[in-house]
Amino acid sequence: MTAATISLRRWGFVHKWSSLICTLFMLLLCVTGLPLIFHDEIDDLLHDQVKPAEVPPGTPQANLDSLLANALASAPGKVPHFLVWDRDDPNAMVVSVGPSITSDPSKNTLVRMDLHTGAYLDAPDVTGRFTYIMLKLHTDMFAGLPGKLFLGLMGILFCVAIISGIVVYAPSMRKLSFGTYRARRTRIVRWLDVHNLAGILLVAWTLVVGFTGVINTWADLVLKLWQFGQLSEMTAQYSGRSVPAKLTPVNAAVAVASQAVPGMTPSFVAFPGTIFSSKSHYAVFLHGNTPLTSRLLKPALIDAETGKLTDTRDMPWYVSALFISQPLHFGDYGGMPLKIIWAVLDVLTIIILGTGVYLWLRRRKAGVTVERSIASASSVENAALTSP
């Protein structure tokens, strides 16, 4: 047995077991990810929500302090955590409020406000929505951080399976033309041809989606790293201060941040004491105005007592990598044509995973009989059977 044959068998072993371990979870992610590609369209179809008033382009925004007061009037006993400019609806703003400034923001109430009139729109409970359930299954299987890290591990195995599949593909196809589909062969040979062809055609896309998915599972850890790194450096000299009894107007804080970072647009405001800021600062996060820079955020810290800028910096590379990976993973930065392409590629990936499971089950059921049938069809097909 040659060294090349031994090496190929080792790669085949890696491909088989990395695929088998992660396949069922990858099927879950592909199935739940498909409706998430069209989550905006699904929500619009299934759920009614109050629309903001139509206004001419260039209409000035409402005073943020008045808008905030109206939002809090609709949620008595709650305190504001974040003001968020709605990316999907430029005429709306979302105010995230909780029972206290230290409460879990993931359980906050989301109040939608008209950005130009400052009027209350609604406060939808999204936790019962179909798209929310799909999102939770897709991101952490309702298991929180452990679920995210587990899915991240499955994503790493998926990337290993793709790379090892590339290695075993070329030798297994050296006697066959690219894209060969042997329609007159046995069923398992036909399924093997479908599995191999779809796998090699989608290798770039599956690697991109798999790798960006792994990065997204690290979002909580990236946030903690940023908090204890850059944010701590920016607020070190204010570490002994508490949340001010009276805050400077949020509208003025946003104006100071916008002036300090020209050419960028406010994306959201974190109030003092929340996870994205210190106890004594507003953190105003701004984004650029190009397709790429619109996904990148830059924080500006505004002293909540004096209203003065204290620091602004570009985000570290690892945070920027996370921001870029999120829209790339779901394909939601190129409009409906890109969403359709992403959906088609997702369905093809489901086919790859499904045929892999089928081939492995047939091998388990028939043992060497299947291997011999493939070997009789082509001397290289037995090596290709190492794929699940």
pLDDT at 87 over 80: yes
Q: What's the whole-number mean pLDDT along residues 328-332?
A: 81
Tracing tokens 């191999």 back to the chain, one arrives at 196
> Domain check: are 165 and 303 in the same one?
no
pLDDT at 48: 87
> Domain check: are 116 and 236 in the same one?
yes
Question: Residue 378 — very low, low, confident or very high, per pLDDT cuts 50/70/90?
Answer: very low
CB 207 within 8 A of CB 145: no
Helix (H) or strand (E) holding 15: helix 3-37
Question: Residue 388 — very low, low, confident or very high, per pLDDT cuts 50/70/90?
Answer: very low
pLDDT at 371 over 70: no
pLDDT at 199: 80
Tens-place pLDDT, residues 242-286 = 888 899 999 999 999 999 999 999 999 999 999 999 999 999 999
Question: Between the CA atoms of 172, 366, 202 and 181, what dihedral angle is there, to the nearest 10 degrees?
Answer: 70
> Domain check: are 203 and 155 in the same one?
yes
pTM for the full predicted model: 0.83
pLDDT at 386 over 70: no
Closest by Cα among 239, 247, 249 to 272:
247
Question: Residue 369 — very low, low, confident or very high, per pLDDT cuts 50/70/90?
Answer: very low
Q: What's the whole-number mean pLDDT along residues 153-160?
A: 95
> Domain check: are 313 and 355 in the same one?
no
> 229 vs 372, which has greater pLDDT?
229
Cα(267)–Cα(289) distance, integer angstroms: 11
- Give SS3 for 113: strand
Query: Structural domain tally of the chain?
Result: 2
Tens-place pLDDT, residues 89-129 = 889 999 999 999 999 998 999 999 999 999 999 998 888 89
* Within a domain: 19: no
pLDDT at 377 over 90: no
Cα(199)–Cα(351) distance, integer angstroms: 9
pLDDT at 365: 62
pLDDT at 103: 93
Tracing tokens 């195995």 back to the chain, one arrives at 157
* Within a domain: 30: no
Instruction: Give the mean pLDDT of the chain.
Output: 87
For the record, the structure tokens of 354 come out as 């499904």
> Domain check: are 211 and 223 in the same one?
no
> 211 vs 58, which has greater pLDDT?
211
For the record, the structure tokens of 17 come out as 């077991």
Tens-place pLDDT, residues 176-214 = 666 666 777 777 777 777 777 778 888 889 999 999 999
* Within a domain: 187: yes
pLDDT at 67 over 50: yes
Indicate if the alpha-carbon torsion angle 158, 160, 162, 168 is positive or negative.
Answer: negative
Tens-place pLDDT, residues 5-22 = 677 788 888 988 998 899
> What phi, psi does 265 have (nearest 5°)?
-120, 135
Is 305 exposed, middle or buried (CB count within 10 Å of its CB: 0-12, 13-18, 19+)?
A: middle
> Domain check: are 254 and 275 in the same one?
yes
pLDDT at 308: 96
Residues in the chain: 388
For the record, the structure tokens of 31 come out as 């199935």
Give the domain range for residue 376: 142-217+336-384
> 147 vs 172, which has greater pLDDT?
147
> Domain check: are 161 and 240 in the same one?
no
pLDDT at 383: 40
pLDDT at 259: 96
* Within a domain: 233: yes
> Domain check: are 213 and 326 in the same one?
no
* Within a domain: 32: no
* Within a domain: 26: no
Alpha-helical segments (H) within 74-143: 130-139
pLDDT at 174: 67
pLDDT at 115: 96
Q: What's the whole-number mean pLDDT along residues 56-79?
A: 94
> Domain check: are 319 and 366 in the same one?
no
Closest by Cα among 186, 152, 181 to 375:
186
pLDDT at 4: 66
Question: Residue 149 — very low, low, confident or very high, per pLDDT cuts 50/70/90?
Answer: very high
> Domain check: are 257 and 112 in the same one?
yes
User: 302 forms bridges with which residues in the sheet?
Assistant: 282, 309
Percent of the chain with pLDDT strictly greater than 90: 59
pLDDT at 175: 67
